[in-house]
Amino acid sequence: MADIIQLLPDHVANQIAAGEVVQRPASVVKELMENAIDAGATTIKLIIKDAGKTLVQVIDDGKGMSVTDARLSFERHATSKIRSADDLFQLHTKGFRGEALASIAAIAHVELKTKQEQEDVGTCIEIEGSNFVAQEVVVTPKGTSIAVKNLFFNIPARRNFLKSNTVELRHVIDEFHRVVLAHPNISFSFFNNGSNIFNLPTSNYRQRIVNIFGAKTNEKLVPVEEDTEVLKISGFVGKPEFAKKTRGEQYFFVNDRFIKSAYLNHAISSAFDGLLKGGTHPSYFLNLTVNPQTIDINIHPTKTEIKFDDEHTLYALLRSAVKHSLGQFNIAPVLDFDRDSTLDTPYNYKANGVSSPKVEVDKSFNPFKDSTNLGGNHPRTFKTQIPNNWDGLYVGLESKGNDFQKDFDEVQFESEESTVSLFDDDKQLDQTYTTHQIHNKYIVSTIKSGMLVMDQHRAHQRVLYEEFLQNMTVNKAASQQLLFPLYLHFTPQELVLIKQLQTDLEHTGFVFSNILNESVEIIGVPVSVPESEVSIILEQLISDVENEVPDSHFSATDLLAKSMAKSLAIKTGQSLEKDEQEHLVNRLFACKEPNVSPTNRKTFITMSVDELDKKFI
C-alpha cells in the first residue's frame, strides 16, 4: 500500500499559519504596531486605505534592522526575543513567536524599508505571496516602514469573508485603541483614506483616554489605585450613571498587553453591584502589573487570552480595589450617620447665651365666674346664653328646602366628550378568545385548533420594525418637537456614523439642528419615542451598525429599523393590560411576516388540542 502522508509545501504551510495570525486587516494592524513598539519607537504612524483591504502601512522611528535581519524577519519562527523555552515565562515584549511577518507576507504584497541609526542607507525588500521579488539599497529615515497591500490577493475565498468597509474599519479602530491605550508615552497618528482620524501626542493615561473618547469622558472617570505584592492596579472606571448598553469601553491591560477575561470582567461587575441600571455595562480602563512568571501568554493565537496562576486572588483584589474607589469618591453609598447640617446652630449665634422662656399667668382669671355653685358635692351647672328670638330662626326653612330640591332637579349635567377608542368594543364582545400573560413574558391566546403562545418582546419588535420601515421608505414619520433641545455627546468615530445615517433618522422623525465635533443637538424625536430613550436608541444603533455586518445585501434603512425596533419594543418582564395584550396579537397578525422577528427568530408557537391531549396520556 502506498504512503499517503506527505509534507506540505512551504507556501501552503505559510498560508495555513496565516489563517491563525491574520483573520482580517485589523490583525495586520495589531502585529505591525506591536513590532514598532518592540523596536523602541517614540512616534508611530498608521496609514490604511479601504479599511485596510488595499493598504495597511505602519511607519515608526525605532531602531531599525540590518540587511540580514530585514531578510531573516520574513522567515517562519524567526525572532529576536526568544532563545529558549524558559524565555516564554519572562516576556516583556509584544511579539515573540516570529511568525507574524512570515504569515502576512504569504497572503499579501509587502514592502519593507528599514534603516539603523548608524547606517547611511537602508534596505528595501519586496515580497509577493512569500516570494522575494526584490531587495535593494534605499535612502530612508531611521526606523522601519512596512506597507501591506492587497490582503488575501492569492486566497479569494478568504477575501470574500471580509465584511463591509464600515465593519472592518471598526475592527481596525478597536485594535488601534487597544495599542495606544497601553502606551500613552508614545505618540500615535492614524490616517484612513487620506483623512486624519487620530492624532495622539505623548501624554499621561487620563489624557490619552480623553483624547480618544472625547473631552466629556474626563468627568466620567473615577481613578483606581492599588499596589500589593501580588498585583498592582492602576487606571480608571466609569461612573455608574454613564454606563452604556454595549461593552465597548472595557479595557484590561496585563503588563501593557490588552487581554480579554470574562472572569476578571465579572469582578468589575460585582463591584458595581446595585449601582447600575438593568442591561447596562460599566466602562473601565485598568492596567494590571503582575510577575511575568505567574502568567502564560502563549495559549491563544491572538495572544488576547492569558492564563493566571492564581485567578481567585486577582479577582478579590480587583473587586475590592474598584469598590474602594467608588466609595472613596462618593460614587457608591456608604453607611454614614452624619447629622443633618441644617440642625446645627448658626455661626453668629454660637457665642450668645441661652435665655429661659418666661410663662406669664393671669391671676385674676376665673373660669367659674358666670356659674352657679350649689355647694357640697353637687355638680356645677353653667348658664347658657339663649337668644330671645329663637323661634324666628326656623321661619321659612321649609319653603327654602322645597326650592332647593326644585332647583336641584332642574340641574343639567354636561355629558362627557365621546372619544375614539383604540379598540373596537363591539368587536371585542364578539371575540370568543381571551388572552393571558404568563411570567410577564408570554401571551397565551385561544384559537380554533388549540392555543397560541406569543413572545411579547419579539412580536412587538416585528410590529415596530415594519412600522418604521414603512415610515422611512414610503412616507415621512411624524415628529414631536422638544421644549428644550437635547444635547448628546459621542466620540468622533460615532459622530461619523450618525452623519451617515442622518437622512434615514430624519425620515423616522428625528430632527437634528446641529452636529458638532463631539455632540449632537436634537430638537425633535419620533412620536413613539420618549425623550429619555433617545440616547439609548442612538447608542444601540451605532453598536448595530458597527457590529451587525451591513453588507451589500443590507441597507442602512433596514438596519436602522431593526435597531430602533429592538430598543423600543416591549421588554420581557413588562406587565400588559388585557386590551394591550389583545391589541398586540391583532397588530402582529396584521404584519406581512408575523411568524418571525426582524432577527429571524420565532414570534409565536401554536399547540393543537390533540397535542395537549397527548400530554395527559
- The 3 state secondary structure assigned to 338-385 is CCCHHHCCCHHHCCCCCCCCCCCCCCCCCCCCCEECCCCCCCCEECCC
CA atoms within 13 A on the CB side of 315: 14
| Domain of residue 515, CATH code | 3.30.1370.100
Residue written as grid cell 495555513:
16
Sheet of 450-455, strands arranged across: 435-438, 442-446, 450-455, 604-608
Count Cα neighbours of 280 within 13 Å in the Cβ-side half-sphere.
Answer: 19
Q: Does residue 163 form part of some domain?
A: yes
Residues 183, 315: one domain? no
pLDDT of residue 424: 47
How high is the pLDDT of residue 80?
Answer: 63
Whose cell is 402582529? That residue is: 588
> What residue type is assigned to position 375 of the chain?
G
Mean pLDDT computed over 14-19: 66
Identity at 389, one-letter amino acid code: N
Q: Stretch 164-181: mean pLDDT, rounded?
A: 89
The pLDDT of residue 120 is above 60: yes
* pLDDT of 233 above 80: yes
Q: Let me know whether 89 and 164 are in one domain.
A: yes
Whether residue 247 sits in one domain with residue 156: no
Give pLDDT, residue 429.
39
Residue 397 falls inside a structural domain: no
Let me know how long the chain is.
617
pLDDT at 32 over 80: yes
Residue 529 has pLDDT above 60, yes or no: yes
372 has a pLDDT exceeding 70 = no
pLDDT bin (cut points 50, 70, 90) of residue 348 is low
β pairing state of 250-254 and 284-289:
parallel
Q: Are residue 264 and residue 314 in the same domain, yes or no?
A: yes
In the prediction, which pLDDT does 43 show?
94
CATH code of 110's domain: 3.30.565.10
pTM, two decimals, is: 0.67
What is the rounded distance in angstroms from the CA atom of residue 280 to the CA atom of residue 242?
9
Nearest C-alpha neighbor of 498 from the set 446, 532, 540, 447: 540
pLDDT of residue 74: 82
What is the pLDDT averaged over residues 41-68?
Answer: 92
Nearest-angstrom CA–CA distance, 260 and 264: 9
Distance CA 367, CA 378 (A): 18
Q: Which of 251-265, 271-285, 534-548, 595-609 has the lowest mean pLDDT?
A: 534-548
Which pLDDT belongs to residue 499? 83
Final residue of a structural domain among 202, 226, 248: 202
Among 328, 343, 364, which residue terminates a domain? 328
What pLDDT shows up at residue 91? 61
Q: What is the mean pLDDT of residues 149-166?
A: 85
Residue 87 pLDDT = 55
Arithmetic mean of pLDDT, 13-33:
80
Q: Distance between CA 565 and CA 597 in Å, rounded?
A: 10
Condensed to tens digits (0 to 9), the pLDDT of residues 273-296 reads 888 877 788 899 999 988 888 777
337 found inside a domain: no
Domain boundary among 310, 328, 346: 328
Q: At residue 44, does pLDDT exceed 90?
A: yes
Among candidate residues 451, 444, 442, 523, the one with its CA nearest the CA of residue 487: 523
**493 versus 82: which is more confidently predicted?**
493
Mean pLDDT, the chain, rounded, equals: 80
Across 514-522, average pLDDT: 82
111 & 149 share domain: yes
Which pLDDT band, with edges at 50, 70 and 90, does 430 fall under? very low
Strand partners, 442: 438, 455
Answer yes or no: is 335 within a domain: no
Tell me how many domains the chain contains.
Answer: 3
HSE (CB half, 13 Å, CA atoms) of 420? 1
pLDDT per position as a tens digit, 583-606: 898 889 888 888 898 888 899 998
What one-letter code names the amino acid at 252?
F
CA torsion angle for 585, 589, 592, 595 (degrees, to 10)? 80
Which residue range(s) make up the domain with 221?
Answer: 212-328
Give the mean pLDDT of 240-254.
Answer: 84
Q: Which of 31-45, 158-172, 396-410 has the highest mean pLDDT?
A: 31-45
Distance of alpha carbon 245 from its chain centroid, rounded?
3
Confidence of residue 190 (pLDDT cuts 50, 70, 90): very high
Cell numbers at residue 434, please?
A: 381571551
| Residue at 392: amino acid letter | G
